Each structure stands twice: as C-alpha cells, then as structure tokens.
C-alpha cells in the first residue's frame, strides 16, 4: 500500500485530481476503450472534484471517453432529493465537465428489484472491462462506500443498512437531524472495489485518524473495512497531516521518506506514476 501524506486538504485534492488526470491521459481512452473510473460522494472528494473541473476547463483532461460508476446511493429518498448521491454528483462534478450522460452510472436506490439492480451494476462494470481506478473516501469508523463495520470483505454490490455512527456522521447533510438520514443504501461491496485495477482513497481530518491508523498499521479486519486495501496490489491512500495523528512516528516517517519524490501535486501531471 502507498501512503501519500500531504500538508493539508487543498494539497491532497490537487494531488489526487492531477493523478486522476494523468491516469486518464496516459490511458488515451477512446469511445471503444474508455477509461473506467469509480467515484465516491461526501466531503472528502469535493476539493478533488473542484480541481478536476478546473483541469477540464483548462483543457488538461477530458471526460468524453470516461465511464463512471458511483460507489453507493441512499435507499428511500427520491433521485431528485437534494442529498441523494445523484444530485450530489451532478451538482458537484458531472454538470461542470464534458462527460457524456450515458457514461454515468449510479445505483438506483428506488429500483423495484434491488437484487436485479445490484447484479446489473456488477455486470455492467465487467462488460466495460472493469474499473481502472476506484476513487474512495472513508467514514470515521473506517467504512468504505457503505460497507459498515462487520461487512464481508468478499461482499459484492447489495443493499446495506446504515449503522448509527454513519447516520450521525451523515446527519450534517440532513439538517443535523439523524432521524432524517435514510436507514439503508445500495453499495458496491468490498470485493467489487478490490476488483479495480487500482484503488485510491482520500482521507482527511482528525476525525479519520483512527480509521487511518487501522487501515495502515493494523491487520485486515472486517470491523475496519478499509483495511482490505492492504490486500490490493495497487492500493493507495492520500491523506492530510491531521489524519496522520494516530500513526506511529516511525510509520509516518517511513511513508514520508519513500514517497519523498512523489509529494508535489504539480509534478503528478507529468509523472510516470511510479507503480
Ligand atoms: C458516506 C459515504 C462514503 C464516504 C463517507 C465519508 O458514508 N457512503 O462513501 O466515504 O460518507 O464521507 P465524508 O467524506 O463526507 O467524510
């Protein structure tokens, strides 16, 4: 696993956006062979999305031949709800870039047949050749997408109840009223994410420090589903300084040292990406 430690969240966002742009450009995607990108919602990727929008406007990267799959969606709120992940993605990324609407895939939390919806999502990912890069964030309890603590590390796309911690964390988007947060979701599974050719997770802020410590220093454990990243051949976390507060000094210094030539966000646009 790689751990890229940035000074602050703005730098993190810039690093990740430049990295994604570089990956897309190196792949030189076409409509027949698109670049397939997995995407999260939440506050963690917001800065990255703003940076990507700038890169598209500056002509550095194009999403015309990029196909996206979002990680998750709430069940039980309409697609048009201000807090649905459909609304979030269109408001914060898709409507500002040159992506073709037919290339956007987001689970339908109101599908009449949930099992069929989830299976079709998995099938569609396979049909386009699998995910090239899965971008993600994590919850304070280390959940990835909506794979709450105790989720099977072999899980695939399915419906999943939200735990109390997650409802509390997400209540900030629902007038700070936990009772307004949906009870369940559709989410890709841990194995779905691990099938991607590469996984990049953004972690920022003190409230994610415990989760980062478990992800990097503790063993693979279903109570911290992000820890499954240790089993991925190309798993990377990009974090800010506050998120590192629970890491051992030695761990921090180790990653700062081995990644010392890869920390400058600007250099990512021309990087050979060092895998
Ligand atoms: C939700 C989403 C996750 C996201 C997490 C963290 O629970 N299902 O995909 O990573 O929130 O959100 P934030 O980045 O806002 O802290």
Predicted confidence (pLDDT) per residue in 120-132, tens digit: 999 999 999 999 9
pLDDT > 80? residue 274: no
Tell me if 212 sits within 8 A of 239, measured CB to CB.
yes
Instruction: Kindly give the distance from the C-alpha atom of residue 136 to the centroid of ligand 1, in angstroms, as a whole number.
Output: 8
The residues facing 221 across adjacent strands are: 224
Burial class (CB in 10 A: 0-12, 13-18, 19+), 233: exposed
* Average pLDDT score over the chain: 96
**pLDDT at residue 275, rounded to an integer:** 67
Neighbours of 112 (CB within 10 A): 7
| Average pLDDT score over residue span 11-40 | 97
* DSSP three-state, residue 135: strand
- Cβ of 148 closer than 6 Å to ligand 1, yes or no, is no
pLDDT digits (tens, 9 = 90+) for 165-224: 889 989 999 999 999 999 999 999 999 999 999 999 999 999 999 999 999 999 999 999
Is ligand 1 within 6 A of the CB of residue 138? yes
Place of tokens 């703003």: 50
Q: Which residue's CA lies nearest to atom 9 of ligand 1? A: 145
CA distance 132 to 36: 5
């Amino acid at each position: 696993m790689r751990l890229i430690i940035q000074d602050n969240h703005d730098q993190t966002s810039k690093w990740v956006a430049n990295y994604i742009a570089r990956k897309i450009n190196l792949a030189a995607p076409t409509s027949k062979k698109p670049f397939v990108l997995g995407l999260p919602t939440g506050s963690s990727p917001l800065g990255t999305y703003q940076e990507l929008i700038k890169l598209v406007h500056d002509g550095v990267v194009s999403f015309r031949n990029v196909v996206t799959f979002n990680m998750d969606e709430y069940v039980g709120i309409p697609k048009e709800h201000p807090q649905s992940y459909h609304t979030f993605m269109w408001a914060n990324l898709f409507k500002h870039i040159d992506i073709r609407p037919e290339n956007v895939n987001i689970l339908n939390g109101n599908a009449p047949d949930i099992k069929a919806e989830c299976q079709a999502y998995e099938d569609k990912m396979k049909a386009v050749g699998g995910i090239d890069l899965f971008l993600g964030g994590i919850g304070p309890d280390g959940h990835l997408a909506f794979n709450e603590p105790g989720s099977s590390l072999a899980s695939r796309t399915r419906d999943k109840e939200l735990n109390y911690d997650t409802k509390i964390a997400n209540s900030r988007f629902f007038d700070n009223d936990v009772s307004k947060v949906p009870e369940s979701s559709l989410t890709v599974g841990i194995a779905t994410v691990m099938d991607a050719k590469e996984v990049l997770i953004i972690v920022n802020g003190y409230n994610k420090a415990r989760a980062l410590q478990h992800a990097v220093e503790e063993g693979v454990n279903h109570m911290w589903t992000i820890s499954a990243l240790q089993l991925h051949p190309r798993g990377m976390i990009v974090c800010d300084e506050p998120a590192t507060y629970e890491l051992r000094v030695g761990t921090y210094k180790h990653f700062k040292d081995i990644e010392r030539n890869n920390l400058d966000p600007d250099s990512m646009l021309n990087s050979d990406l060092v895998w």
